[in-house]
Structure 1
Amino acid sequence: MGEPGKVRSRTRAAKRARGLSDRTMAWLFVAPTIALLLAINIFPLVWMIRLSFTSLNLSMSYLPLRFVGLDNFSDILSDDDIWIRLQTTAQFVIASVALQVVVGFGLALLINRRFRGHSFWTTIILLPMMLSPAVVGNFWTFLYQPQIGLFNYVVAFLTGRDASSFQMLGDVTLSPWAIVIVDAWMWTPYVMLICLAGLRSIPDYIYEAAEVDRASKWRQFWSITLPMALPFIMLAVLFRGIENFKMFDMVNLLTGGGPGSTTEVASITLKRAAFESWRTGYSSAFAIILFVTVFGLANIYVKALNRVKSR
């Protein structure tokens, strides 16, 4: 091999050594983060799956840990109360997400007009989303008070009834709607931001062409605005649906699942099984069932979303 060939060979060897060194350095930086994520997320999940096949009950820790197979899953799926809780959860998700999407999309249409004071009012609308759920829960608990709550007086003024007759958190009929109102008040701005991104992504020349064709504003909305913003609306529904399905803090702060079990969603049932009855094996199995349910429904919904985006 001639001298030029030896030089090229040494150059390639140096590049390979430098490339291997770069990859090694990259792994040295990334490996601690990956290890931390595995320790925080993967290990608890694997441990929970293991416990779901056992009879572990922390209130009777003196008993030996016994493998029970699929008994926990069978007990949950054959429990009529569990199905009632899942039905309550589904009703809450549908009502809350529907209200958030309707109001959020309406606000997005309004904010998209860029009127005077646009930035100020956008910031005001976004304020509820920036608050802690604990703060929001306590704030609305005060507003819902029958004697001094401002919400009851406003409703009484609009309906002409006595304010003390509105027991928003203690009435079987009104308590679910009380939670829906609070959740929508807090998270409608989030839906508005996603819808606003969809509206801002629509090119102006499409509206200009529609105006040349003398299309009315109503026609432009149904033929241009809504179809082109639909993927963003569906994305907002996906995000809020997942979050509302596993929502716990707001319900726990406002009603604790009451009155009776009217507002007892699946997360409240899971908390009671895990931290009140201390049925660790049973609650682990219930958590897995909820995870599989949300994961499966989300996958089906994402496929529908991809079909809409591909049109």
Structure 2
Amino acid sequence: MSETAMDRIAKATPPRVARRIKGFSDRTIAWIFVAPTIFLLLAVNIFPLIWTIRLSFTNYRANRPNAELDWVGLRNYQRILNDGDIWQTMQATAHFLFWTLFFQVLIGFALAWLINRKFKGNDLWTTIIVLPMMLSPAVVGNFWTLLYQPQIGLFNNIVAYFTGADPTSFSMIGDVALAPWAIVIVDTWMWTPFVMLICLAGLRSIPDSIYEAAECDRASKWRQFWTITVPMVLPFLMLAVLFRGIENFKMFDLVVQLTGGGPGNTTTLTSIELKREAFEKWRTGYSSAYGIILFVTVFGLASIYVKALNKVKER
């Protein structure tokens, strides 16, 4: 009878170690292997969060580490919640979130539905559509900055033509009214393929037998779409909205690359305002309180949304 790998490991294990391991349950051995990873995650994630919460109750400034640290209590939180500029930033972020999610879900689902029909050249077009999400935000920002430039920017000139503006001086990213929409367009162009892939997975998970049964019952294509396709793809759509919503709430690099938060404060999102408070004004305690408020907001909304998602999946 040949010797197994487990037998060889047992023979190679020192007798003292073997006696100790024999006294452990399977659950204890599992915790021994998992514990280092848990401690690492606690050190990387939990400790900075606790430290940030502590700083949010102080007047600490990172550029003055030796200055006397005063405990200010809830003063930072009160100042943030009573600051009109902060609420304007929240409004700009909500505008960005709503319209990017709306267009990405609408276009992403439409593209997934078309690709799922398996026409000639299906794989080629899928690859071409997915290309934007493979690029880094810095590359996308520089690319679209050129498209928004006066005269040389093709996309910018098209918008100038329809709005009646002078193409030699007009720029979407320099216009107060159009700059937020310029950011929405770029983010939609870049991340619609992500939503499309999730919707495509949902569409291809629907058994063909369901559609065949519906056809036997003489259900029209339109009725099949609303009673079979949409309900069964809805959990996938909601999952895509959750992922993109969390990511867009943290949007920073793409907006800075395109507009820097301007003109004025029209594209100043919460992440950009947080960076300004922390690393330009050096109000570390204040920015820590701001970060905690944003964390609680995102965590609370995501928790409510996940509960709604679970209810939809249970239907």
TM norm structure 2: 0.88
Partner of residue 211 from structure 1, selected from 209, 215, 220: 215
- Superposed CA deviations along residues 132-154 of structure 1, whole A, max 9, x for unmatched, are 11111111111111121121234
Query: What is the CA distance between 1:23 and its match in structure 2?
Result: 5.9
In structure 2, how many angstroms separate the alpha carbons of the residues matched to 1:164 and 1:217? 49
TM-aligned CA deviation for residue 198 of structure 1: 1.1
1:58 Cα shift?
2.8
User: Equivalent residue for 1:8?
Assistant: none
Distance 1:74 1:86 in 2: 16
Deviation at 1:18, TM superposition (A): 3.1
Residue 215 (structure 1) shift: 1.8
Q: Matched residues in 1 for 2:164 and 2:293: separation?
A: 46
Distance 1:252 1:267, change over 3 A: same
Q: Secondary structure at the match of 1:50?
A: helix
* Deviation at residue 159 of structure 1 after TM alignment: 6.8
Distance 1:165 1:210 in 2: 57
Alignment of 1:96 with 2:100, yes or no, is: yes
Cα deviation for residue 232 of structure 1 reads: 1.0
Partner SS state of residue 251, structure 1 = helix
1:46 lines up with 2:50 in the alignment: yes
1:227 aligns with 2:231: yes
| Pair 223,23 (structure 1): closer, same or farther in 2 beyond 3 Å | closer
Aligned to 2:202: 198
Partner of 1:31: 35
Identify the residue that residue 14 of structure 2 maps to in structure 1.
Answer: none
The one-letter code sitting in structure 1 at the alignment partner of 2:106 is: V
The equivalent residue for 2:126 is: 122
Q: What secondary structure, in the 3-state scheme, does the structure 2 residue paired with 1:163 have?
A: coil
Taking a change above 3 Å as real, the CA distance of residues 68 and 157 of structure 1, as seen in their structure-2 partners, is closer
Say which SS state the counterpart of residue 168 (structure 2) adopts.
helix
Per-residue deviation, 1:303 = 1.6
* Superimposed CA distance per residue, residues 20-64 of structure 1 (whole angstroms, 9 cap, x where no aligned partner): 286666555433322222221111111111111111023444430
2:252 is aligned, of 248, 251, 269, to 248
The answer to whether the Cα contact below 8 Å between 1:146 and 1:165 also exists between their aligned partners in 2 is yes
2:192 maps to a residue whose letter is: T
User: TM-score, structure 1 length as denominator?
Assistant: 0.89
Count of residues paired in the alignment:
298
Farther-moved stretch of structure 1 (129-138 vs 213-222)? 213-222
Give me the whole-angstrom Cα distance separating, in 1, the residues matched to 2:19 and 2:63: 62
Q: How far apart are 1:213 and its partner, in Å?
A: 2.1
1:171 corresponds, among 170, 175, 181, to: 175
Q: 2:59 aligns with which of 55, 62, 86?
A: 55
Q: Does the CA-based 8 Å contact 1:152-1:164 persist in structure 2?
A: no
* Residue 79 (1) aligns with residue 89 (2): no
Distance 1:110 1:299 in 2: 33
Please give the per-residue CA displacement for 1:167-194, whole angstroms capped at 9, x wherever unaligned.
1100011100000011011110110111
Are positions 1:306 and 2:310 aligned together? yes
Q: Select which of 173, 181, 190 maps to 2:185.
A: 181
**Per-residue CA shift, 1:239-279, capped at 9, x if unaligned?**
11111111111111111110000111111110000000000
Query: Any unmatched runs of 5+ in structure 2?
Result: 1-17
CA distance in 2, matches of 1:47, 1:164: 51
Q: CA RMSD in A?
A: 2.1
Residue among 255, 258, 262 paired with 1:258: 262
Shift of 1:201: 1.3
Where in structure 2 are the equivalents of 1:155-170 lying within 5 Å?
155-156=159-160, 162-164=166-168, 166-170=170-174
Q: What SS class does the counterpart of residue 58 from structure 1 fall into?
A: coil
